[in-house]
């Protein structure tokens, strides 16, 4: 009976893993079809450009000032490209870009 339970659990785990893979594949396909991934990638490119530019051009500024400058630059670029970015997306993407930039800087300093 115990062996039967172990085999049943193994089969159940295999089925769950297979279903998770299938759901992930379908979700990615759906998102690609809707253009969501391409849209997010274009947002990320704009944000990365603006964050790096602000970091380079306004080295004397800090914190909130740089954040506001980055937001203004991103909004300008987005309007020029007719891309809509919500305030929440803007904040999250800036934070992500800054984190990525800081991580890269730390890695380079370790070398």
Q: Are 81 and 101 in contact (CB under 8 A)?
A: no
Q: Are 20 and 70 in contact (CB under 8 A)?
A: no
Task: Give the model's pLDDT for residue 36.
Answer: 66
As given in the structure block, the two tokens for residue 59 are 């080295």
Distance separating alpha carbons of residues 22 and 29, to the nearest angstrom: 11
Question: What percentage of the chain's residues is helix, strand, coil (to nearest 5)?
Answer: 85, 0, 15
Distance separating alpha carbons of residues 43 and 93, to the nearest angstrom: 8
Q: What is the pLDDT along the chain (111 residues), one digit of tens a residue?
A: 788 788 888 888 898 898 898 899 888 887 777 776 677 777 888 888 888 888 888 888 888 888 888 888 888 888 888 878 888 888 888 888 888 888 888 888 887
Distance separating alpha carbons of residues 12 and 10, to the nearest angstrom: 5
**Collapsing DSSP states into helix, strand and coil, what is residue 73?**
helix
């Amino acid at each position: 009976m115990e062996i039967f339970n172990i085999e049943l659990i193994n089969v159940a785990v295999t089925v769950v893993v297979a279903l998770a893979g299938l759901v992930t594949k379908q979700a990615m396909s759906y998102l690609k079809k809707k253009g969501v991934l391409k849209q997010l990638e274009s947002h990320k490119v704009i944000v990365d450009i603006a964050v790096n530019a602000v970091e380079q051009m306004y080295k004397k500024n800090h914190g909130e000032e740089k954040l506001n400058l980055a937001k203004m630059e991103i909004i300008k670029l987005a309007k020029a490209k007719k891309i809509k970015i919500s305030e929440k997306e803007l904040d999250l993407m800036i934070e992500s870009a800054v984190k990525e930039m800081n991580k890269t800087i730390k890695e380079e300093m370790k070398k």
